[in-house]
């Protein structure tokens, strides 16, 4: 039974996930490059660690929620998580990265007696705090069952979806659809306003109607201010990864891909540095 959990990557998504782990009664250990990042989570009862290796040595499961593939590899490999974690440990990659990265890291973890799960999440910080993140998990099903209680601290649904890398594939399908829907939402709002509908009325009616979507809500919120550069960069990354996965699988994503490209152009025109 997992009792001691580590977490690295206390950003806008990772911090609320870590908070929910602590609230669920797990002994939480954390590490961050910047000590000031730890202050809020320490107040929630987390134990700060001096290094990733030390954190891994203390924990049965470590969640990783950093930005990209290079960050995930840096956290897991070298004198870091795999070097410190005892046999039987689990590393859960919550970042959105290439499926092949997780497959490769899972293979590299095996000689250490460690299981690596790819467990990307979707829904945002508020969903984490309400325990309703979608958690899509690829990897060993027994390790998934062992980790399920931790995932359920912030997630519902929590779903095993297949072999290593499959969780990432699910997340990439989701993010490609989300990005494409941003363009559709933008065009729908432009259409309504061009036809003379009061923008305030549209903003109230559409989210309560059958055309509602997470992308619509997000676009209506984002268009009130310039789009942060980090949002555009993350979506560019995820669309590129999704397109690569489709090409490798010989899957036609023409309409999705075209709409996603138009959404990225739209976001680029609205981006602030």
Tell me the two tokens of residue 264: 């990225």
Q: How far apart are CA 87 and CA 106, in angstroms?
A: 14
Q: How far apart are CA 157 and CA 111, in angstroms?
A: 31
Q: By C-alpha distance, which of 251, 215, 161, 100 is closest to 151?
A: 161
C-alpha Rg value of the chain to the nearest Å: 20
Mark whether 171 is an active-site residue.
Answer: yes
Q: How far is CA 203 from CA 199, 219, 267, in A?
A: 6, 11, 19
The set of residues, in sequence order, having a beta carbon less than 8 Å from that of 3 and lying 6+ positions away, is: 26, 27, 60
Residue 91 φ/ψ, nearest 5 degrees? -110, 125
Active-site option among 171, 183, 226, 237: 171
Residue count of the chain, please give it. 273
Q: Is 156 exposed, middle or buried (0-12, 13-18, 19+ CB in 10 A)?
A: middle
What are the residue numbers of the active site?
171
């Amino acid at each position: 039974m997992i009792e001691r959990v580590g977490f690295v990557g206390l950003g806008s998504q990772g911090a609320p996930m870590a908070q929910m782990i602590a609230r669920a009664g797990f002994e939480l250990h954390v590490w961050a490059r910047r000590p000031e990042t730890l202050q809020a989570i320490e107040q929630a009862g987390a134990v700060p660690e001096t290094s990733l290796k030390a954190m891994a040595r203390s924990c049965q499961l470590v969640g990783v929620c950093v930005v990209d593939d290079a960050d995930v590899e840096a956290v897991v490999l070298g004198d870091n998580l795999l070097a410190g974690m005892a046999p039987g440990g689990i590393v859960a990659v919550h970042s959105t990265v290439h499926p092949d990265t997780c497959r490769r890291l899972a293979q590299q973890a095996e000689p250490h007696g460690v299981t690596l799960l790819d467990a990307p999440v979707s829904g945002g910080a508020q969903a984490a705090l309400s325990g309703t993140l979608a958690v899509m998990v690829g990897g060993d099903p027994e390790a998934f069952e062992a980790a399920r209680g931790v995932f359920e601290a912030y997630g519902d649904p929590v779903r095993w979806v297949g072999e290593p890398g499959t969780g990432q594939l699910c997340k990439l399908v989701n993010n490609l659809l989300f990005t494409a829907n941003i363009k559709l939402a933008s065009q729908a709002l432009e259409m309504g306003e061009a036809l003379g509908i009061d923008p305030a009325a549209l903003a109230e009616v559409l989210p309560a109607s059958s055309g509602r979507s997470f992308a619509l809500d997000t676009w209506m919120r984002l268009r009130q201010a310039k789009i942060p550069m980090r949002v555009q960069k993350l979506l560019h990354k995820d669309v590129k990864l999704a397109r690569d996965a489709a090409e490798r699988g010989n899957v036609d994503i023409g309409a999705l891909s075209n709409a996603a490209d138009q959404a990225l152009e739209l976001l680029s025109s609205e981006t602030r540095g």
